Structure 1
Amino acid sequence: MTLEYLDYTIVFLSLGSSIAIGVYYGFFNKSKTSEDYMFGNRQMKVLPIAISLVASQINPLTIIGFPSEIFVFGITFGFHFIGMIFVVLILIYLIIPIFYENNITNCYDYIEKRFDRRTMIFLKTLFFILGYLYIPVYSYISSQALSFVTTGINVHLINTIVCSICVMYTMLGGLKAVVWTDVLQNFVMFFALLFITYIGVTEVGSFKETFSRASDIGIFEVNTNLDITSKNTIWNCFLSGVLLFTCLIGFNQSCVQRIVSLPTIKDSRKAIILFFIGFIITVSIVCILAVVMAAFFNDCDPLKSGEINQSDNILSYFVQKLSINTRGIQGMYMACVVCASLSTISANINSLSCTLYKDCIKPFIPNSKNNNLIPKIIALLSGVFLICSGFVVEILNSTAIQIITTSLNLVFSTYASTFMLGFLAPRIHSRAMFLSNIVGFIVILGVIVKGQFFSGRVQYEPIEKTFSTDC
């Protein structure tokens, strides 16, 4: 379908608003000290931080990958999000109190205090590698989706534009710009997802008809298999969700940086509770959207019919179909994907640049308290790397979800063991922790490499959906 001026207007307004926020905090309300630039002087407000945390977890993978995963493999995948209940309890009663009691602004400072410097350096190295590995993948996923919708605009041109805008406002405004653009982008994502879901339901007929068709297809079948080699079961989805989101929020510096920017522990707990409410509402809409797509395509599976050749394109194809009768919906979808990409990239670039400056550069530069130039330069260079690495991501012979989840599993398993043992096992000393990290990392890396080697031999079958064949 051809994009209309209304579609482009919606996208440009969302991008322009983000730039305006960056310009405001970069020139008219700019940070006076590096502490203000990196942490907002620890005087941020609860609601913006909560919304920013929601935006940080609603990334392009959530928007594009999760609905397609549920469409292909069923609603069992949604059990990832149920684990968030336990994650919130862990954050409120264990992780946040320890960070505030020890005046921690960088989660790696805790590792150095609890164990030693070499353990901290090892984990921080993993943080940098992971950050500069998965941010380009997130960026490329969103650019690829936009390229599918625009039908003709080069994916690397889109990637360059999105990354340049993101780096611009992140570099200019620091944490304040990141948080307030996250607030804006979260509202855009929320209403875009809600709008697409609503239009999809009206095309099907009604909510009752939607869920009836999806149920007939088999989308609600839950996999309770105890076999750990099964792709999606309620057990491995739930447990991996608890581990993943605990690490993504509690041990991920981009989130920790925002949580500790609040003045008191009470404010941080409020922010986490509000984040939980907003996150559950948003991912519920994502899951319902997957159900709506299944009902919409009940008479013809676009994957089996050859209309599309990758499951990641299902949502984009769905939006194209809806745009026949609804003007502006492609623009809403594009704005949603762009905002998901911007919120994820900006938070990570800000975190990476500030951590590099604070821990690797600032100790060697005297009287650098008011120097905001260096983290801005690092943010700029990170953006250049991000644009260039998009070409590498395109060459990789793997799906986007595989690349991200593999790297996340490798690093976050090490994170989780180190932090949780540090919290709960006071007798473990630094040497034992460092050696166990090295051994554990090698073992898990071996398991992942072996899994990737055999991945081509083992094909996970989608759920047995009973689509009709009226294509």
Structure 2
Amino acid sequence: MAADIAPAFGVVDYILFILLLCVSTSIGLYFACRGGRQRTTEEYLMADRSLQSFPVAMSLLASFMSAITILGIPAEVYKNGTMWWWFALSHVTSVWITVSLFMPMFYKLKLVSVNAYLELRFNRVARLCGTVIFYIHKCLYLGTVVYAPCLALSTVTGMSFEGCVLLVVVICTFYTTIGGLKAVVWTDVFQMSVALIGFIAILIKGSIDHGGFTNIWRINQDGGRIEFWNFSPDPRVRHTFWGISFGGTFIWLFIDAINQYQVQRYLACKSLNTAKWALYLYGIGLVLVTTLPCLAAVVIYAYYHKCDPKSAGRISRDDEIMAYLVIDIFRGLPGLPGLFVSSCFSAALSTMSSGLNSLAALTGEDIVKAIWPNISEKRYNLVNKVTVVAFGIFIAGMAFIADALGKIVQTVMSFTGILGGPMLGVFGLGLFTTRANSMGTSIGFATSVIFGLWLSIGSLMYPATRRALPLSTEGCEESDMINSTFTTWSSMYTETTMTPSAEPTMEDEGPRSGVLGFYSLSYTWYSCVLCTIAMSVGYVASIIKDWKYPENKEVVDPRLVVPISDAFSWCIVLLPAKWRQKLGFDDNKTKDQESAVDAKYHEIAMSDGKDLNLT
């Protein structure tokens, strides 16, 4: 490797990056001037519910592929082997469950805010809890997503970091504000294509330099990086087939099934079948999006199996390895460094635009209409656009202070991830049982959140150690040292990334007992455990409440409950009818029940400005 691998943009690199921003802005302007010109809420937030499968699938994929995905997953696989690849299976399982159980209900209700279901099924407090959790998660996450690529661009171009943040936030907020959901979806299609091209360029260059991908794979096999068959039943083992394929499904269900920025887009499809095909295509694309970073990691190891950059002191954190590779192998090739930076920015722009639009939808539906239920269509649409701008400014502020917050941001983001399991449990209680009531669900949710916070704090205070795969420095030379400019950027960037590779990598100290052993639980099981706690405690608490106070028993319309027997008939149908009824899986309802709940539906529907279809 060359003695000086300084990151720098040439003319072609600048052209590629500017072209990316111009195309994204042009798409926003196009949809601002086309059709209804985003004058109605239905067009602005839901694209008139007229979207086709392919652009929605690409938009969903673009939201998944953030700058953290591009930089974090390759580092994880390079450091710890290819077990991560099994997440592709959990993605597919999550999509299948979403299409079978969650999507039909949400699409039937014609919701804009997915949390409106919680008010229909339980009460307004449950709806606001979902809104607050989404706010915390999205605002912190989007601030980090903007921060990372902006710091990269300021380093390779000499542009000030503050100017870069303003540039990205202004452009993204601009086309999201004027173009609505249609602009978000179609810019995502373009930006997703750019991000994929960046990965493909790395794979092609790596294959050329090593005489084919077969040689790359052999090098990884010799280095012990190729691992797929860890079937250990121990939940403390960080990555196993069971932990990733089963536990990982719960992680992605929180994102695919009940997260506003995903649900909003597939509900904007023109029909239920179109929405289903969008998710099927999304599932196929997730396999590709999971595979490409893993293949990039295999290429990284082929380059550095004899001289690990971190061990040699050229980078300070594992997450810096992807950017280091690009700067190294693409030096002297005009346009390719710009392509990589454009890929990071494409991922950041797509994630941010989707987040801004979903934040506006949630604010309008869950808060604004609760305060002003009779707000006019014109004023409400204006409020939505102002909300996008306001959140854009707030996220810019989060990007500015991300470096100062550093590890605090990482910690807070970890806590928001812990909330995914409890929220999934709340939706599960509402969708899959008729026994769950508001009080019981609240108890289950609170118990799960408290347990999750205790678990996460304990794992941070007493982190588990694990045995890292071996890395070598026998091939390193002093002349290989990268310049300090890259090291400064990368160390600043990785302070705010949250990837699994952030866990300690010391030599394994052996199994731990008692509470310390429990803190060793793999992160892949967090959502599964917390969802199970929320549902089991909530279900039991609901039964106890109805038994103790039968006069206050809530009326539940089975039209808001998913008939699990339809999706899992091979399992539920085997139970006796009496057991199914006691467990709350029956669909029987009385006319009094229908009459009582219809009044509630009408009240909530009118406050949301729509007529909910419950037939």
- Give the alignment's TM-score, normalised by structure 2: 0.73
Q: 1:349 touches 1:382 (CA, 8 Å); kept in 2?
A: yes
**Is residue 322 of structure 1 aligned with residue 355 of structure 2?**
no
Deviation at 1:41, TM superposition (A): 1.3
Aligned: 1:303 with 2:303: no
Name the CA shift for 1:413/1:61 in 2 (closer, same or farther; >3 Å).
same
Task: State whether residues 91 and 246 of structure 1, in contact with CA within 8 Å, keep that contact through their aligned partners in structure 2.
Answer: yes
Match of 2:197 in 1: 191
Asked whether 1:358 is paired with 2:365, we answer: yes
Instruction: Identify the match of residue 59 of structure 1 among 54, 66, 86.
Output: 66
1:1-16 matches, cutoff 5 A: 1=6, 2-16=8-22
- 1:175-254 equivalences in 2 (<5 Å): 175-222=181-228, 223-254=230-261
Q: Give the Å deviation of 1:232.
A: 2.8
| Pairwise CA distance, 1:120 | 1.4
Bigger Cα displacement from structure 2, 324-333 vs 255-264:
324-333
Distance 2:197 2:67 in 1: 16
Paired with 1:309 and 1:343, the residues of 2 have a C-alpha distance of 29
Corresponding letter in the other structure for 1:180:
W
Is the Cα–Cα contact under 8 Å of residues 137 and 393 in structure 1 kept in the other structure?
yes
Letter in structure 2 aligned against 1:56: S
Distance in structure 2 (CA, Å) of the matches to 1:177 and 1:262: 15
Residue of structure 1 in register with 2:386 after alignment: 377
**What residue ranges of structure 2 are gaps of 5+ in the alignment?**
1-5, 478-615
Q: Which moved more, 1:317-326 or 1:26-35?
A: 26-35
**Structure 1 spans left out of the alignment, 5+ residues:** none
Checking the alignment, whether the CA contact within 8 Å between 2:312 and 2:476 is kept in structure 1 is no
Greater relative contact order (CA < 8 Å, ≥ 6 in sequence):
1
Q: Which residue of 2 aligns with 1:452?
A: 460
State how far apart, in whole Å, the 2-side matches of 1:227 and 1:412 are: 23
1:134 aligned onto 2:134: no
1:409 aligns with 2:417: yes
Given that 1:130 and 1:411 are in contact with CA atoms closer than 8 Å, whether structure 2 keeps it comes out as no
Q: Please give the alpha-carbon distance, in whole angstroms, between the structure 1 residues aligned to 2:40 and 2:167.
A: 30
- Given that 1:25 and 1:173 are in contact with CA atoms closer than 8 Å, whether structure 2 keeps it comes out as yes
Amino acid at match of 1:20: S
Q: Could you say which residue in structure 2 is the equivalent of 1:395? A: 404
Tell me the distance in 2 between the aligned counterparts of 1:299 and 1:190: 28
> What code does the residue aligned with 1:6 have?
V
How much has 1:151 moved relative to structure 2? Answer: 6.6
Matched AA of 1:168? F
The offset of 1:442, in angstroms, is 1.7
Q: Whose helix proportion is higher, 1 or 2?
A: 1
Q: What secondary structure sits across from 1:211 in the alignment?
A: helix
1:416-470 per-position Cα deviation (integer Å, ceiling 9, x unaligned): 1111222222211111001211222122112112222223xx4444212456434
Residue 105 (structure 1) shift:
2.9
Aligned-pair distance for 1:401?
Answer: 6.4
- Structure 1 counterpart of 2:24: 18
Does the CA contact (< 8 Å) of 1:322 and 1:329 recur in 2?
A: no
Question: How far did residue 236 of structure 1 move?
Answer: 2.3
Partners in 1 of 2:391 and 2:308 — Cα distance? 41
- Farther-moved stretch of structure 1 (459-468 vs 187-196): 459-468
Q: 1:464 aligns to what? A: 470
- Whether the 8 Å contact between 1:108 and 1:123 is mirrored in structure 2 is yes
What SS does the aligned partner of 2:294 have? helix
Q: 1:249·1:256 contact (CA, 8 Å) conserved in 2?
A: yes
- Per the alignment, residue 429 of structure 1 pairs with 437
The yes-or-no answer on 1:161 pairing with 2:170 is no
Partners of 2:454 and 2:118 in 1: CA distance: 25
Mapped to 1, the partners of 2:69 and 2:123 lie a distance apart of 36
Query: Contact (CA 8 Å) 1:118, 1:434: kept in 2 or not?
Result: no
Q: Which amino acid aligns with 2:419?
A: V
| 1:206 partner letter | G
Counterpart code for 2:49: R
Aligned positions, number: 467
Query: What is the TM-score normalised by the length of structure 1?
Result: 0.94
Matches of 1:76 and 1:189 in 2, distance apart?
A: 23
- 8 Å Cα contact 1:213-1:295 kept in structure 2: yes
Alpha-carbon distance in structure 1 between the residues aligned to 2:149 and 2:125:
37
Distance 1:49 1:411, change over 3 A: same
Rounded Cα–Cα distance in structure 2 between residues aligned with 1:400 and 1:213? 37
Structure 1 position 241, deviation (Å)? 2.3
SS of 2:376's partner is coil
What is the Cα deviation at residue 101 of structure 1?
A: 2.6
* Larger Rg over CA atoms: 2
Task: Read off the aligned partner of 1:350 and give its amino acid letter.
Answer: N
CA distance in 2: counterparts of 1:452 and 1:268, whole angstroms: 40
Mean Cα deviation higher: 228-237 or 46-55: 228-237
Is the Cα–Cα contact under 8 Å of residues 49 and 268 in structure 2 kept in the other structure? yes
CA distance in structure 1 between the partners assigned to 2:429 and 2:370 by the alignment? 29
The alignment's C-alpha RMSD in Å is: 2.0
Residue aligned with 1:302, SS: coil
